[in-house]
């Protein structure tokens, strides 16, 4: 459901008719005014009506005053958009978006965005730059942390949920803020995961993969979109009329406005698309970028470009109308000021409860040998808690937490201590100053603590600074001397449970067999500690599922579940390992399929993987018909049984494959998912409705199509499920 919206077109038209060219261009300019960055002439420019938006001020007193100047001291009294990156929470920090994606729970993600919106709105913010819905299939890219992972459907559903959470049912209501879907388009495909690098994405892939979450956000009523920093097929996104004018506006009918990324208009010159800022302003404006974030190309050049006829005033009018419309939709003309008292306290009970639930559902149990988890407070009289991330309030929050309140954080160490009380003796050893440290002087102390305890909880991973914007890595293994720490602890022979906090999938091949269990906690946010403690001691069973494939080694990247089959797909029978190549046999066939000689062709953990403390069994997959016609709906069902003796939740996943198509299709595509709660021993039949429209893809002509033919359909607990049925789509008579 998209936000309710009044038709403000009449008001926009009337206001626009009263504006001078300078005032119009002013609306297209956003100014940075955070601590120490406000321009000296800020007040003067506001009074002259030359600023449309302010970024990075979160002091409600200051913001109310800036609004007052804009409203009362400028000729037309147009209120300001107040922008801020509220990416996964404001004061209360939710798990990083990649962690939230592991919940596979759109309703919870929506609640999380609502919590963030209420806290941001309390500070005077009325526009945020989220959700980031760039499909991310390269864990080297630091911004994978900000994404919902690799899957088109999961990203689309969670992106739309986030938009609903920020914007609410009524954008003009107190506590609603405008969302911004970013970064349009293709940013997640930057070469070798280097932030800001180039992307080359064929049109069919743009349409079938990278565009789709944005279309879903537009359908959910997102108010604004942000362009990407990256070069897309030779035309940087910020100057790309094809994606902005033709697709976004022309095909999808987007009526909100488009903002550049930070100074990305002037960067068109650095890309080599233009010679100077004036040309950059012309390119971006004609391509459909309505507002410039932070730079001054529009401010300095749009007016002369109009005077010289290079840009028509009609183009400017269109951009300004889009911006004004969002201001009217937000109700800023009626309610421009923020009354913090009208909104809940920061870190309210509700906010913390949502953050805790989100963390709980986001954590993925990757392995659990011999049921080492959950620990039992009675059976575990002493526990060694080791590692640099066990008690680091800030580091558990993750990237993009400008306003996050570290004081609200409850660390795993604190939460475990509170949970076990006097039952269990805790021995905490930090062992490393931070995750990157190569100083291992404290390892002996850690080993002593492990030797003296019944079990070890080893907190590993990356601290916040190793992921996020401009924080890409070429080697995504555990940094510093962590692998050595794992080996030393392993040698004690004690049960070792690794809890990994990280902003991306890490390559874990070198430690996966050295530990008994792995809980992958991402950067879990403010309430990460209590969530981890609950899972470790089995108060709740883990239910998170991977939103991104975990490679064995970096060289496998990009590796994702929805790859194409190719002409020579690898199978267990046609691959050869480097250690098995016979000496002096240069002509021997080495399998002749698409694999690497020095690693397995499968990932370490597939997309959708995640264990529980119970065992779920799937069976009896059924399709309601062996054949359906275009336009019909198929019902696919399977029985899910909780074989264990505890109640638990499972994320049931539905995948399809279109076997023959005029454009080759992926080997699997997620087409449905649902969180299901089952009592001990319970069996439920889980049903999915699959309309043939859900099987559409963009073909050679760039149009959506569903082609008749054979389809496979699977239901299961991860993308490698083998429980399959087949059906056929036939042409209607
Ligand atoms: C990022 C955007 C962000 C903007 C404003 C840029 O560097 O790419 O995602 O919204 O800064 O902070």
Query: What pLDDT is recorded for position 565?
Result: 97
Residues 6+ apart with CB under 8 A from 450: 384, 386, 456, 489, 492, 494, 496
Ligand 1 proximity of 262 Cβ (cutoff 6 Å):
yes
Q: Which residue has the tokens 């690898």?
A: 570
Ligand 1 proximity of 141 Cβ (cutoff 6 Å):
no
pLDDT per residue over 630-645, tens digit each?
Answer: 999 999 999 999 999 9
Round to whole Å and give the CA distance between 546 and 404.
25
Atom of ligand 1 nearest to the CA of 182: 9
- List 85, 231, 261, 516, catalytic entry: 261
Are 430 and 453 within 8 A, CB to CB?
A: no
* Site to substitute for ligand 1 among 30, 180, 264, 469, most atoms within 8 A of C-beta: 469
Atom of ligand 1 nearest to the CA of 294: 5
For residue 589, what pLDDT band results from cuts at 50, 70 and 90?
A: confident
The 10 Å CB-count burial string (b at 16+, else e) for 609-643 is bbbbbbebebeebebeeeebeeeeebebbbbbbbe
261 is catalytic: yes
Question: What is the side-by-side order of every strand in the sheet holding 127-128?
Answer: 30-32, 53-55, 81-84, 127-128
Which burial class, exposed, middle or buried, applies to 515 when counting CB atoms under 10 A from its CB (0-12, 13-18, 19+)?
buried
Query: What pLDDT is recorded for position 732?
Result: 81
Distances in whole angstroms, Cα of residue 23 to Cα of each of 69, 224, 512: 15, 21, 60
Round to whole Å and give the CA distance between 135 and 107.
20
Round to whole Å and give the CA distance between 206 and 187.
11
* Site to substitute for ligand 1 among 237, 293, 467, most atoms within 8 A of C-beta: 293
Query: What pLDDT is recorded for position 584?
Result: 66
Nearest CA to ligand 1 atom 11: 262
For residue 378, what pLDDT band results from cuts at 50, 70 and 90?
A: confident
Average pLDDT, the chain: 96
pLDDT per residue over 227-257, tens digit each?
Answer: 999 999 999 999 999 999 999 999 999 999 9
Token duo for residue 212: 């789709």
> 570, 622, 589, 649: which is closest to 726 by C-alpha?
622
Residue 489 has pLDDT above 60, yes or no: yes
For residue 230, report the distance from its CA to the centre of ligand 1, in Å: 13
Mean pLDDT to the nearest integer, 372-394:
94
Q: Phi, psi at residue 282, to the nearest 5°?
A: -65, -45
Ligand 1 proximity of 182 Cβ (cutoff 6 Å):
yes
For residue 463, report the distance from its CA to the centre of ligand 1, in Å: 21
* Site to substitute for ligand 1 among 129, 134, 145, 472, most atoms within 8 A of C-beta: 129
Angle between helices 277-287 and 313-329 (to 10 degrees): 60
Ligand 1 proximity of 134 Cβ (cutoff 6 Å):
no
What is the three-class DSSP state of 66? helix
For residue 4, what pLDDT band results from cuts at 50, 70 and 90?
A: low
For residue 679, report the distance from its CA to the centre of ligand 1, in Å: 45
pLDDT per residue over 19-40, tens digit each?
Answer: 999 999 999 999 999 888 899 8
Residues 6+ apart with CB under 8 A from 20: none
Measured at the CA of 346, the angle between CA 109 and CA 169, to 5 degrees, comes to 45
Query: What pLDDT is recorded for position 658?
Result: 98
Q: Which residue has the tokens 């306003």?
A: 403
> 132, 289, 148, 102: which is closest to 214 by C-alpha?
132
Ligand 1 proximity of 443 Cβ (cutoff 6 Å):
no
Ligand 1 proximity of 481 Cβ (cutoff 6 Å):
no
Atom of ligand 1 nearest to the CA of 130: 10
Atom of ligand 1 nearest to the CA of 146: 9
The torsion region of residue 468 among left (phi > 0), alpha (psi -120 to 50) and beta comes to left
What is the three-class DSSP state of 439? coil
Beta bridge partners of 235: 232
For residue 261, report the distance from its CA to the centre of ligand 1, in Å: 6
Residue 5 has pLDDT above 70, yes or no: no
Query: What pLDDT is recorded for position 585?
Result: 64
> 442, 495, 503, 494: which is closest to 470 by C-alpha?
503
Query: What pLDDT is recorded for position 520?
Result: 99
Residues 6+ apart with CB under 8 A from 703: none
Higher pLDDT, 591 or 618: 618
Mean pLDDT to the nearest integer, 723-733:
93
Which burial class, exposed, middle or buried, applies to 514 when counting CB atoms under 10 A from its CB (0-12, 13-18, 19+)?
middle
Instruction: Give the global pTM.
Output: 0.98
Ligand 1 proximity of 90 Cβ (cutoff 6 Å):
no
pLDDT per residue over 157-185, tens digit each?
Answer: 999 999 999 999 999 999 999 999 999 99
Query: What pLDDT is recorded for position 1?
Result: 42
pLDDT per residue over 181-221, tens digit each?
Answer: 999 999 999 999 999 999 999 999 999 999 999 999 999 99
Mean pLDDT to the nearest integer, 596-610:
96
């Amino acid at each position: 459901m998209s936000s309710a919206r009044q038709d403000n077109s009449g008001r926009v038209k009337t206001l626009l008719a009263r504006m001078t060219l300078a005032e119009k261009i002013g609306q297209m300019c956003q100014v940075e005014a955070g601590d120490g960055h406000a321009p000296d002439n800020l007040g003067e420019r506001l009074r002259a009506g030359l600023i449309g938006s302010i970024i990075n001020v979160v002091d409600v007193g200051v913001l109310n005053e800036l609004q007052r100047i804009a409203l009362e001291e400028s000729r037309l009294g147009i209120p300001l958009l107040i922008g801020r990156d509220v990416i996964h929470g404001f004061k209360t920090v939710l798990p990083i978006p990649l962690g939230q994606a592991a919940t596979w729970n759109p309703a919870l993600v929506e609640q999380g965005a609502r919590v963030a919106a209420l806290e941001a709105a309390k500070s005077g913010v009325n526009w945020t730059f989220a959700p980031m819905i760039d499909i991310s299939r390269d864990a080297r890219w630091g911004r994978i942390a900000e994404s919902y992972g690799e899957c088109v459907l999961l990203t689309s559903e969670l992106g739309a949920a986030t938009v609903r959470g920020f914007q609410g049912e009524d954008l003009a209501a107190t506590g609603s803020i405008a969302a911004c879907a970013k970064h349009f388009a293709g940013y997640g495909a930057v070469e070798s995961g280097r932030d800001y690098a180039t992307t080359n994405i064929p049109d069919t892939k743009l349409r079938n993969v990278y565009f789709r979450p944005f279309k879903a956000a537009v359908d959910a009523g997102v108010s604004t979109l942000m362009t990407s920093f990256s070069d897309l097929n030779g035309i940087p996104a910020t100057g790309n009329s094809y994606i902005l004018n033709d697709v976004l506006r022309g095909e999808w009918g987007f009526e909100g406005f488009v903002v550049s990324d930070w100074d990305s208009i002037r960067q068109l010159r650095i890309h080599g698309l233009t010679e100077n800022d004036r040309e950059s302003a012309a390119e971006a404006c004609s391509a459909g970028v309505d507002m410039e974030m932070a730079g001054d190309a529009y401010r300095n050049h749009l007016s002369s470009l109009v005077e010289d006829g290079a840009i028509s005033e009609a183009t400017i009018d269109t951009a300004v109308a889009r911006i004004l419309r969002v201001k009217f939709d937000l109700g800023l003309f009626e309610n421009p000021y923020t009354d913090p008292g009208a909104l809940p306290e920061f870190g309210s009970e509700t906010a913390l409860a949502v953050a805790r639930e989100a963390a709980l559902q986001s954590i993925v149990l990757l392995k659990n040998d011999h049921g080492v988890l959950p620990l039992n407070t009675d059976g575990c009289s002493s526990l060694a808690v080791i590692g640099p991330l066990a008690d680091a309030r800030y580091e558990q929050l993750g990237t993009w937490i400008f306003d996050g309140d570290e004081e609200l954080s409850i660390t795993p160490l604190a939460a475990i201590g509170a949970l076990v009380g006097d039952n269990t003796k805790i021995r905490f050893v930090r062992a490393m100053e931070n995750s990157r440290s190569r100083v291992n002087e404290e390892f002996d102390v850690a080993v002593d603590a492990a030797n003296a305890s019944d079990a070890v909880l080893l907190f590993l991973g990356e601290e916040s600074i190793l992921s996020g914007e401009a924080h890409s890595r070429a080697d995504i293994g555990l940094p510093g001397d962590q692998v050595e720490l794992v080996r030393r602890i392993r040698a004690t022979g004690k049960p070792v449970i690794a809890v990994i906090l990280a902003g991306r999938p890490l390559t874990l091949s070198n430690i996966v067999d050295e530990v008994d269990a792995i809980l992958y906690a991402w950067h879990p946010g403010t309430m990460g500690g209590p969530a981890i403690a609950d899972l470790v001691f089995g108060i709740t069973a883990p239910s998170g599922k991977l939103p991104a494939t975990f490679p064995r080694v970096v060289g496998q990247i990009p590796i994702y579940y929805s790859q194409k089959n190719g002409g020579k797909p690898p199978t267990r029978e046609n691959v050869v390992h480097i250690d098995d190549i016979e000496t002096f046999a240069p002509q021997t066939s080495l399998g002749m399929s698409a694999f690497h000689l020095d690693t397995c062709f499968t990932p370490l953990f597939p997309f959708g993987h995640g264990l529980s403390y119970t065992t779920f069994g799937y069976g009896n997959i059924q399709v309601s018909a062996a054949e359906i016609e275009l336009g019909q709906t198929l019902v696919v069902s399977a029985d899910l049984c909780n074989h264990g003796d505890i109640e638990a939740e499972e994320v049931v996943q539905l995948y399809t494959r279109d076997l023959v198509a005029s454009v080759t299709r992926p080997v699997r595509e997620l087409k449905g998912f649902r969180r299901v709660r089952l009592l001990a021993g319970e069996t439920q039949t889980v049903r999915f409705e699959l309309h043939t429209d859900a099987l559409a893809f963009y073909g050679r002509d760039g149009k959506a199509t569903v082609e008749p033919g054979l389809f496979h359909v699977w239901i299961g607990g991860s993308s490698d499920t083998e429980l399959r049925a087949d059906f056929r789509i036939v042409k209607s008579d």
